[in-house]
Amino acid sequence: MSGGPQGQEKAAGRARVASRRKGAEVVVAALFLLAGALVVYDSMRLGAKWADDGPQAGYFPFYIGAILCVSALVNFVSAVRAGENEVFVETEQLKLVMAVLVPSAAYVALVGWIGIYAASILFIGFFMRWLGKYEWWKLAAVSIGNSVFFFLVFEIWFKIPLPKGPIEAWLRLN
């Protein structure tokens, strides 16, 4: 027989636990507390008081950061005091989330490097091929057509420039 709770869960036909609720809530509360503290700190640097001519630049962000810190502390204490520590996410569920999150993060990183239109072609084409198993000509038509459509809408009609990369510069679309 497999040792430990995860081995017993697998033997019983249940999925392996990737994270429990208490741990996830403590981590998220700590991250929000850190973000709120950063806002409070930077607001103090800018000036978070009421001046003769009205609020200083950091006045309103200071209070938003303070509210964020208090809320995070309440959630942190609530998570630590929680009695049950039920499953937050199982390994197979986490794999499905990561299958979308990792390519999405790569897409965001590529936008700054090769531009939004080329990155969108790669992103849409990747998902069409990987998840949809579409033929190459279909994914080329849809992914390129999508980028051409959004180029026309934003760049030509609305006159809103979006991030471009070397391909757009080579095609003189800047």
Average pLDDT value for residue range 54-71? 96
The predicted model scores a pTM of 0.67
Cβ-based burial of 119 (10 A; exposed 0-12, middle 13-18, buried ≥19): buried
Cα separation, 82 vs 164, in Å, equals 49
Least Cα distance to 155 among 174, 137, 138 occurs for: 174
Q: What is the pLDDT of residues 118-130, one digit of tens each?
A: 999 999 999 999 9
Query: Over 60: is that where the pLDDT of 33 sits?
Result: yes
Average pLDDT value for residue range 58-62? 95
Q: How far is residue 110 CA from its own chain's centroid?
A: 15
Name the H helices within 12-158. Answer: 21-46, 59-81, 91-114, 116-130, 136-150
Average pLDDT value for residue range 79-105? 92
pLDDT of residue 66: 98
Q: What is the pLDDT of residues 133-168, one digit of tens each?
A: 999 999 999 999 999 999 999 999 999 999 999 988
Query: Over 60: is that where the pLDDT of 104 sits?
Result: yes
How many C-beta atoms surround the C-beta of residue 12 within 10 A?
Answer: 8
